[in-house]
Each structure stands twice: as C-alpha cells, then as structure tokens.
Chain A
Amino acid sequence: MLRHSVPVLAVCTVFAIAAACWAAPGPELLDLMQEELDRSMANLAGASDDPMFYLQYSITEVHSVSLGAFNGGLEAPDESDRRFLDVDVRVGTEVLDNTHEIRGGSWRDNYAPPRQIAFPLEAEPAAVRAALWSETEYQYQKALERLTKVEANRQVMVEEEDLSNDFSPADPSRYSEPAVRTSVDTDEWRGILKRVGEEMARSEFVLTSRVGLTLEDRTTYMVNNEGSRLQHSNYYHRVSLSVSGMADDGMRLSRHETYSAASADHLPDEETLEADAARLVSELAALIDAPVVEPYIGPAILRNRASGVFFHEIFGHRIEGHRQKSESEGQTFTKKVGQQILPEFISVYDDATLEQFNGIDLRGYYKFDDEGVPAERVTVVEHGVLKSFLTTRSPIEGFPRSNGHGRRYHGHDVVARQANLLVVSDSIVPYERLREMLIEECIRQGKPYGLVFDDISGGFTMTGRGGPQAFKVLPLLVHRVYADGRPDEIVRGVDIVGTPLTSFSKIIMAADDPGVFNGTCGAESGWCPVSGVSPSLLVTEIEVEKRQKGQDKPPILPPPGHGGEL
C-alpha cells in the first residue's frame, strides 16, 4: 500500500487567551486530554479481540453572539459559550474497521444520529477527565458493536468494487494559536440593525424583513494517539439582510444579501448596509411585478456568485471522496480520473488554505481538518481533466492518503467536504463582452432571449444511485436578455434543473470577474462553512422549470396603518 507522509507544521507556542469568560488555558486542557487519551489507550487498546488502534479527542469551543431586527423590531440578543466533545474510535485494523460501509441497509446504518455532548467549560481536571472517559467508553462499545455488523455484512454481500483500506495513518500535527474572543459594541450594532431594519420594513409590499449580525468564534482542541496535538480557531461572522413579499398569484419572493468576515473589522458599515437594503427592497418590488417564466431551454449566463453556488452543488459534491467509495453513490466521476470532464479552459481547485480572495474573507478556510490533517490545496480538475478528489483518512482507490478535507459539525461523523472551491478559467472576456456573446448565442439558436442568473440561494443534488443523477438549484434573481435589443427584464418563478455531465459540457466562455460566495453547506457530517469562487460563465443551454409556489392568496387586509382601520 502506497502511503504518503504529511509534513509536520511548525509549532506555534503562543498560548494567550483573550478575555475568555472561563478559565480555559489551552495547554492545560490539551494536557488533560492527552493524559486521559493515554489512559484510555492503555485500558482499551487490548481489551477486546478487535483492538482499538485509533483514538481521537476533539473539543469544539463555540462562543456565539446573535443580534437582529425583524420587521424593524429588535430581537432579544443571544450570547452563549459552549464546548462540545467528539470522540472518534476505530477498532479492528486499518484494512477493516468499524467505520466500513454497511451495504443494503438504511442510511442510519452508516451515519449515526448527531450526538451533542456538553463538555466542561471550566478547567476542572476531574470533570474534564470524567467527561472524556464516559464518551470514550460509549464510543468504544458502539465501535465494537458496529464492527460485528460490518463483518457480518461483508459475509453476506458480494465483493466491493473499491477494496481500499478503511484507514490511513497520518504524521502527527502539532500546532497552537491563541483563541481570540470577538466582541463588538452591542448597543451600537443594535442601533444599526434597528435603523436598517426600519428602512427595509417601511414599504407596504415587504411582508417580512430581517437584518441580523452573528459572531461565532470556534476553537478546536484535538489530540490523537498518533501524537497530534492541536489548538486552532476559526471566526465566522456574518451580517445578513433579507426581505420577502408575495406576488398576486401567491408566489413568495425574497431577496437576500450576506456579508461574511473572519474579523469584526471586516464587517460592512451602516452606509453599505443601507444601500444594499434599499437595493434588495427595490429588487423585491421588481420581482413582485415580474412575469413568470415558462419552462425554457436556451443560452444563459450564470453570474459569478451564482456560478460559484452552481459549481458547489453540482460539481463539488460529486468529487467528495466518500462518494467514490460508497456502493450506494452514483459515482459520476469515480472512473474518470485522467479524463476530460470540463471544457479545456476550466480548472477547479479546492483550497482550504486560502484565507481571502480579492480581500474577501473565505468561510471555507481552515488550518487543519477534523481528523487532524493539515489543510491542502487540491487540484481537482486541470484544463478540464479530472485529477483528484477531496479525501479524508478513509482512503479511496488510487488516493490512499487524506488531503485534509475530513470535516464535520460537532456531533457528526467526519466525511469528505468542500472548503474553498475555486473555478478558474484560462479563457476570459470582460463581462460586457460575455453578455454580447449571450445575445449572439440566442440569435444563433433562434431564441428570442437568454437568461442571466444573478443570484442563487442554493439547491440540492442527488448523488445516490437510488435516484436520477440530477440537480435542482434555486435562483433568486433572474433577468431576461432579449436578442432584439429590448431592455432587460426581471422574471420570476424558475428553478434550474439538469444532469451534471451534460451541464458542464455546455460552458463556452467565462468573464474576467471572479466573485465569492460564502455559505454554509449541509451534508452527512452536518453544517460546514464553505466558499466558492467563480467567474461568470456563459452556457449554450440551460433548462429551467416552473418553481413550486404557494397557493395562498396575498393577505386579506392591508398592513396595519395602510387601510382597514376602524
């Protein structure tokens, strides 16, 4: 078995805690974790015929603040400090262990229900040790139980296609950095949110509006029996604006804007928020009056952020490592390494080491993944040719080592996840030229118009074999660009649908305007912060279908203060 070593990062030895509300000296906590890990290994490693060969303790410390104004009224502020424990146990051997896929059963056979284990906030040694001990015993017993099921499942099922090991060792990582506790002037921010919120709520057609600020500091303390010892932090701060309304036909419509930052200093100022709030309200008004698009196939432009979401949903999830190994997955790209899967001018990377792009903080940035492996930049596609997948410590055929993409939300099992997915084009034109090319493509195809997708909220994609290998993404703002020169027109009520291989083959040009979307992705291992960077893309053909819409009539009475008063 080919194994690659992972370089050990330089150790940073700064251990200050800034204004923490609890006594949380990192080294002391890590020392306690290490001592209890050693004790557990000594007690449990040989306690069964199936040895425990891997043990990892991770504590996720979360400080969060949430402020908001709904319909212009202030919400109660929230602030919390919590710690959560994850214990990862592997019994058996690196070839076959308790994490091996069980085939033919239910989804729950392979993904345990999320388990939120409250962990001591204080540096109380007996409490810390007891909490670690208790969860280790539980996870150890569950691991033995599952290994028995794995072995039985293998006896009754045919041989698997991917015979890779279940586990790949990694060189120990040792790193520590100070955890910073983010604070903002709460009164000042409540004032900003109130003023912006009132402005957004002022228009009669705005049914609901919200402006919110969330600050989240996440620090991970991690040790394992390979000798890794980590303390590292990420900061996920966001300001979000949203407005919603309803068209006369009952369709609910909304506009959103989100600003992500890794530092409170990078959050937008009030002037920016006011301007964007006004824009959202204006776009909502246009959407409410906009015509509904009928199902359509034709040329389109995916604007940069929308394209980033599109690639994340349609492409990114299909290059996650565990989907190449699982017998229940569709494995769109598993056997296509070395083959052309995208146009030659497109390359795709997933770079978890990238902190910013064009000055914008990326939410997908981290130093180590949730298996203690240093983050890496992975070349997934080079000039259209598939090169690699995003991997964890569960090897897949041809990729025996982790490239630092094992991620989870605390309480979940780790799987391969995207971080910062970068779509890079060698062939670019200014956006205005891309728009001209859209019109030219419309004329060439005899289409009266093309579509421009300015904003996409997200979507879902089916990667399993149980269903079609199809996707649906949910545009929020779409323009119709007429071939005959009429002004652009906002339209509503469409979703993009399709199948991945066909869709990627339709990309013919990119613009010189790479843009960033920052979001949170939900999958088997819970919610993970992610980013996507992509230029605007011109596609010769995209299919849209009618969106499912609500059937409710608009409110019977006018809003209070706008009529119907006694």
Chain B
Amino acid sequence: MRRAIPIAVVCFVLVVPLSLALAQGEDDPLFRAMQDELKRSTKGLSIESMPPPYFLSYRIHDVESITVRARYGSLVQTEDNERSYLYIDCRVGDPAFDNSGFVGSWQDIYNVRSDLVEEDDYDVLRHQIWLRTDAAYKSALENLARKDAYRQSHPTKEEIPDFAPAEAFVAIGEPVRLDTEPAAWEPDVRAAAQALQEFPSLQDWQVTLTAVAENERYVNSEGSRHLKGAVYTMIEVAATAQSEDGQRLTSFLRHVARGDDEPPTGSALVGEVREMAAELEAVLAAPTIDEYVGPVLFDGFASAQFMSQLFAGQLAPAKLPLVAQDWMKQYLPDPKLAGRLNRRVFPEFVTITDEPSVDVWEDVRLVGHQTVDDEGVPCQDITLVEDGRLVALPMCRQPTKKIGASNGHARTFENQWTASTVTNVFVRTEKSKKDLVKELRSLARDFDNEYGLLITRLDEPSVSNHYRWTEVSEDSRPLLTAPIAVYKVDVKDGTLEPVRGLVFDELSIRTLRDVAALGRDTRAWNVLQPMGIEGVTYPATIVTPSVLVEEMELTSGTAQEPLPLSGRPLAGM
C-alpha cells in the first residue's frame, strides 16, 4: 500500500492541569527530553546581572519524505529522506520589549534550524537541546542589547509590545508516518513524463512527486504542549518551450493533497499533462499583444493564484521587524494589506474568511486545516474581509498597534522565523454571477474593446526561473506574476483565441477594489502560499470562485532568449 496514513484525530484540552498535560505523551522520549530540559533551563539558565529567559519554547519538527523526479521521460531522482529539526524561541526582557523582532545581521534573516539525530534517544536529545538552548539564550541577550541600543538611537512614538500572552493549551495527537515508498510512485511519474515526449515543441520538462509526513512536538514555559502531524502528497509537472520569436513560456500544473486524498495518477494524470502541454503549444503559436486595458477574468486555477498573490500574500506579517540597516529590508516581506485594517479593500459584495477548522470541503481535504498553530495557540476561524472591509488579520503572538492577541495563525519557517499565515481562505459573495464570460464581454464592450481577457494560469517563478537562461533578481517579483495561459474573448461572439507575451502593468493593491464580480464555480485549491521571503512557501487552501476584475493594464514584457539551432531529438530516432 502506498497511500498515506490519515491524519490522526487530535484531542485537545484547554488550560489543563500541568500534571494531566505531562501525563499525555509521557512515554514519548522526545517530549520527555524537551520537557525536562525546559524545566531545567527556565529555572537555572542565567548569567549574573543578566535577565533569565521569561519565555522558552521548543519545537521539534520531524520530516519524513520521498521524492521521485523524472525528466524527459526517465527518472532522474528517486529518494527517501528523514530529518529532524529543533527550533527554540528563547525570549529575554519582558513581553513589552524583548529580543525578538530585530534584524541586526544577515544571520537573523537566514538563521538555519538545528538538525537533530534521528534516533529517539532521550539522553542524546537532551544533550542537543541543552547546547542549543545555551546558544539561543546567549544570542537572545546579545540581540536584546543591540535592539535596545537601536531603540535609543531611533526613538518611536508608540511602543507596541513584542509578545502577546496566551493561555496554556494542550493538544496531543498521534504521530503520523509515511506509508509509501519511492518505487510505488515511479511508474506514474515516469508515465507522465513520457507522455510529454509526444509534444515536439517542448524543450524541457520534469515531473516531481513529493510525499511528506511531518510531526511537530511543541512545549513552552507557559505549559502549552502539542503534537500534531500531517501527510501531504504533491505532484508538480513543469514544461518549457519557446515561441518562434524566442519568447520562453513555461507552464506547470500542481496538485497538493493531504491525508487520504491523493493527487491524480495513472491515466488521469497523463490526461491532465497532455492538456497542459496542448495548451502550452497553442499559446506558443498564438499572436502577441503589445498592450491591453480593460476587464480581465481570472478563471480556474488563476482565480486561486489571484487571491493567493494579491490578497493572502499581502496580509502578513502584520508587524515587520526592526532592521539595523536599510539594505536588509529588501530581503523581508513587504505586505501591502497589513496596514489597511478597517479600510475597504474589496467591493462591498466580497467576504473572505480564514477557517483552519475546516478539514474537508466538498470532498477535498484542505491542506490549511489545523487545530493548533506553531506557537501552541489554538487556531481560530476568523473573518478577514466583511462587506469589502479588511476587519481582521491572521495573527501570531506578535501584537500590532490594533491587534493585541494571537488568533492561532502562527507558522514557523526553516529560517526559524515565526510569522502570521493564512490557512483555509474562503472567498464568498451573496451576489455571484452565473456567467462571468458574459459579464467580461459586457464590460469589454463598455471599454470599446473588441475583446476581453480571460486568464486560466499565472506564472510561478519558483518553477519557471529554473528554465530561464538569465538570472532573475530577487527584487523583481511583481505583485501578480505574468499570465501564462491567456485568451482573448471576442465581445461579439465569445470565441476564444490564445495570446501571449503579456505582463501586468501599473498594478497595485487597489486592483482588489476593482473586482467586478465573482462567479458561482467555487472550488478548493490547495496551493503553496508564498510567505513573503523569496522561495519560502507553505501549504494553504484558497477556496474561491472565478474573479472578474473591471480594469487592468497589461503590456508586452516577457524576455526573449536565443532559439535552439537544432531540434529536440524525438523518441524513435
């Protein structure tokens, strides 16, 4: 059997007595090592005349994964892997002003997590936790001093606390395992890659299957403690080609599944792959457009990408860290919506919620489902946008001027940053339109356009940059990536014609207010949500219908590369 074990049912108890909490998982050597070292450190860790930690947490993240990758129809990688990482949050000072939220050096941005041994050996784990805690405490003391010095030379008008208190929360689930192996997926991955050999214009492609089982054990000095596990399976197919004028076009499809759900395999996957390639070939042969101003319909996956990039990706972090030097800001997230709380960001008919409690929606297991976040806070369902107004933000335990408490939306990343994140984003309206294509044509007519634009897929730089010949600078990431699959929709008869070579122009966050209508084709899309730091993503779900925007500007913009001087050798040569 290659399928994943379903995510365990999580039992949780709010504000349990400590004795009961300790009883749960007491046989687990990792928990015992974490708990024993936590107790010893909170009591004894101090340097004379320096403050002891006022808060300490340990998070052990176990990751079991397999990767099967094929390129051009042959496997190029088939591996399994197990890793275990330790994350420590050691805070000195007090909640009003502590060592957190200050970037004093490059290492603060890319602060790589610590490896742990695989073996669940109590003594070995404690030894590692002890050494890392010692380093984390000393680093925290230094950072507090640096941050204090910075504050003195850069006084601010308002003092926002650095840390929000939270009640103890215990949620001990059963750990999950990856009940599959690379060999079980090799035929599907190989077959999908070989199906693309039929398309002579494709220059390169690869199919990648990744399955991950992850378990997180967490304890903190407030008495919180949890064990949560999840299994994800992802298939990604990417293919690249060039049009006759040298424009590089890279398309992709990606399925992210959780638990029992699995991405399409066998003939279903091959069928999807062929569709993607056929669409790419159609776009290759399509004419270019120099510029366009008018309505744009984001349909299918593009609607999820629109909401992921332009809305969800702009919400967090609600509060940015202080940086010692301005040049460091270019490596930090730059959310455009976080400062617009209580202001209108969408038209009145749009309501958006973030609901981590939703496990399954219309037979799809949502990858954003969680009961407790990475800071030990129970996840809350929240309304982000109500009647077009941004009324809440996903919050971790870092308060903002307007929001003082966490709502359980913290996620800790590989660089040891903990940031607010979305989970399952639901885009809703009570005024949906049945036929958005008809609405698109109508709006285009109002612009005196002969056509409107329909987009079904946007570029994903993490996929397409791999195939580009020139390096891409990190600061060139736009608010909304370039459309890959674009169609002109004729105003008169509604016929579709593919076009290519467009990028969004003059785009701002105000585009959200230009949403003219939402469709009735709501669908759940499990996506890799960008965190805001280049290349860092996390699983989240966007449940959205198609989105019609009243007016957008697009211009010609995709770079050209030299064309190959010979054709790709084909099968059977």
Interface residues of A (CB under 8 A from B): 22, 36, 39-40, 43-44, 47, 69-76, 78-83, 118-122, 124-131, 133-134, 137-138, 140-142, 201, 207-208, 552-553, 555-557, 559-561, 564-566
Contacts and interface: CB of A to CB of B under 8 A. Distances in A.
Contacts of B138: 552-553
Most buried by B among A74, A76, A133: A76
B197 A47 contact: no
30 contacts: A36-B569, A39-B566, A69-B117, A73-B118, A73-B125, A74-B117, A76-B83, A76-B118, A78-B81, A118-B69, A121-B77, A124-B73, A124-B74, A125-B571, A125-B573, A126-B72, A126-B73, A127-B72, A129-B573, A133-B566, A133-B569, A134-B203, A137-B564, A201-B124, A207-B131, A553-B47, A559-B127, A560-B36, A560-B130, A566-B43
B565 A137 contact: yes
A71 B126 CA distance: 11
A560 B72 contact: no
Contacts of B573: 125-126, 129
Contacts of B47: 553, 556
B40 to A, nearest CB: 6
B113 to A, nearest CB: 15
B497 to A, nearest CB: 31
B566 A43 contact: yes
Contacts of B194: 124
Contact of A560 (B40, B76, B193, B204): B40
Report, nearest first, the 6 A-B pairs whose CB atoms are least far apart: A73-B124, A120-B74, A73-B117, A127-B74, A76-B118, A126-B571
Given A121-B75, A127-B73, A566-B43, A76 B82 contact: yes
B568 to A, nearest CB: 6
A552 B41 CA distance: 18
A69 B119 CA distance: 9
Contacts of A133: 564, 566, 568-569
B291 interface: no
A44 B75 contact: no
A71 B127 contact: yes
> Interface majority SS on B: helix, strand, loop or mixed?
mixed
Given A78-B81, A553-B47, A208 B117 contact: no
B123 interface: yes
Nearest to A83: B76
How big is chain B's contact interface, by range? 35 or more
Contacts of B82: 76
A339 to B, nearest CB: 45
> Interface majority SS on A: helix, strand, loop or mixed?
mixed
Contacts of B71: 118, 120, 127, 131
Given A43-B565, A130-B568, A560 B77 contact: no
A70 B566 contact: no
Interface in B344-386: none
Contacts of A557: 40-41, 44-45, 130, 134
Contacts of A22: 75
B439 to A, nearest CB: 43
Contacts of B41: 557
A560 B38 CA distance: 11
A565 B40 contact: yes
B327 interface: no
B72 A75 contact: no
Contact of B40 (A81, A201, A566): A566
Given A71-B127, A556-B46, A556-B47, A120 B572 contact: no
B236 interface: no
Given A71-B127, A122-B75, A127-B73, A556 B569 contact: no
Contacts of B117: 69-71, 73-75
B204 A72 contact: no
Most buried by B among A39, A73, A553: A73
Nearest to A36: B569
Contact of A555 (B73, B75, B115, B131): B131
Contacts of A43: 565-566
A208 B131 contact: yes
A560 B127 contact: yes
A75 B83 CA distance: 9
